[in-house]
Amino acid sequence: MQTVKHNINIHEVGLRDGLQIEKQLVPFEKKMGWINRLFASGIKKIQLGSFVHPVKVPQMSDTDRLFTDVLKSGKKPENVILSGLVLNEKGLDRGLACGVEMFCMGVSASNTHSVKNTGMSTTEALGRIITMAKRAVSESKRVQVSVQSAFGCGYEGLISKNQVIDIVKSYLDAGLLTISLADTAGYAFPEQVTDLFGAIIELDNNIEPACHFHDTFGTGIANCFTAYQAGVTCFESAFGGLGGCPFTRISSGNVCTEDLVYLFMRQGLADLPDLEKLIELTRDIGQHLGRELSGRLYKTGLPNILKGF
């Protein structure tokens, strides 16, 4: 298959999906430092956190303050979008109050995962998310809606393609065009990625497809490349490959941002983040957490072959 080159956007979710399962709380000041280094790297979309109950996810207890202080600091480049994840109306209220620029919200195609993650069935969550998304749009906010467990569920196993398509159709009917398919359990494989993204892109030519893959079984980068070939334009990833959903059966890391940027750099794509700055940041994060992370490039450094890129 010949790859058609198109503009892509890296959505860095390390501060949210990367840190949410970390038991060692990262100090607010340290997070602020990492955010400023992400700005310097050229990442254009950064998820600062999620608006969840601090008892359930203590690592996210400073999300409101992060948005407020980052926006007040004046250090955010104009072309950078700050996103936040919301699960319910209260989270949306908090996000609107502290200046979230892009709201991410979604529904799991797995009813079991939906209940564990949000306390709501898939059907109930879908109605509430669409109402929330419309409210955010009415407040002139960007909105990305997602289908979680789109490629399989750690509890239910295979997820019907039609279940995913039905949720996407509901989003499109509501006028929501930025849609992410999330591989929450890490079950996706390239052929499935081609099929599912091809199906949703056919539904509406104006759709803005995004993807969120986990590397639970080692197929994350392959799935990202396949999604790129299928026409996906936005890729969610986390520095060092950190993270995982705490409400799925096996919590495993995201696709690593540095490794993903390297992949697209080798494809000859332009306007990518500064890979050396990302590697330096990830090394600092690994030192702070006191362990080796799952990413590869931050361990090996830049290969000599990149001198021609």
CB 82 within 8 A of CB 76: yes
Select from 260, 255, 236, 250 the least CA-distant residue to 293: 255
Residue type, 285: I
Element of type H or E holding 85: strand 81-86
CB 277 within 8 A of CB 40: yes
End-to-end CA distance of the chain: 23
- List alpha helices for 204-269, DSSP H: 220-230, 257-266
C-alpha–C-alpha distance, residues 11 and 233, integer Å: 10
The total number of residues written for the chain in this structure: 309
C-alpha–C-alpha distance, residues 238 and 232, integer Å: 18
C-alpha–C-alpha distance, residues 58 and 72, integer Å: 24
- Catalytic (active-site) positions: 245
CB 63 within 8 A of CB 33: no
Give the distance, in angstroms, between the CA of residue 100 and the centroid of all CA atoms in the same chain.
Answer: 15
C-alpha–C-alpha distance, residues 207 and 138, integer Å: 19
CB 181 within 8 A of CB 140: no
Cα dist. 138→90, 95, 104, 142, 170 in Å?
Answer: 17, 14, 15, 10, 18
Phi and psi dihedrals of 51, rounded to 5?
-100, 80
Cα dist. 295→14, 202, 222, 253, 260 in Å?
Answer: 12, 34, 15, 9, 10
